[in-house]
Amino acid sequence: MKKSPESKKRRASEPMYYRIGEAAELVGEKPHVLRYWEAEFHCVHPSKSTSGQRVYSRRDVEMLLRIKELLKEKKFTLEGARRKLREGGFELADPTDATRLAVDNLRKMLLEVRDELLRFLEDLEVRS
């Protein structure tokens, strides 16, 4: 099935990362609920910005929406939702998985590089 040009345009204009308030609004829950689910479900692991604020990726928001569906609509228990996500290949069986840690470190490093590039771009614009 092909995506329409409108859906491609909408997807391209969506931010890649969301602060906790933005993510909470998209999911329809309060920020403390997102922090709780982050602790309970290892498939949601936002990065931290240089200022220490949680930064959720699109994938994180999609997983939070899936968790909300399992818990609130389908009435799964926390353990049942974890099991369902694990069966679907979303939840890691071992939360200390070295691969996840490597990905988290890489994500953090890339965010820092992005921030540095943005500062560099601002410096160039000021000099012009």
The reported pTM is 0.62
pLDDT digit string, tens, across residues 65-118: 999 999 999 999 999 999 898 888 676 555 556 677 777 778 888 999 999 999
Quote the pLDDT of residue 113.
92
When pLDDT is averaged across residues 23-52 and rounded to a whole number, the result is 93
Higher pLDDT, 101 or 45: 45
**What whole-number distance in Å separates Cα of residue 52 and Cα of residue 59?**
20
pLDDT band at 8 (very low <50, low <70, confident <90, very high): very low
Quote the pLDDT of residue 29.
97
Order of strands across the sheet that contains 47-48: 17-19, 54-57, 47-48
Higher pLDDT, 61 or 98: 61
Question: Do the beta carbons of residue 63 and residue 90 sit within 8 Å?
Answer: yes
**Domain segments of the chain as ranges:** 10-93
Pick the CATH number of 10-93 from 3.40.50.11810, 1.10.1740.10, 1.10.1660.10, 2.60.120.10: 1.10.1660.10
Q: How much is the mean pLDDT over the chain?
A: 84
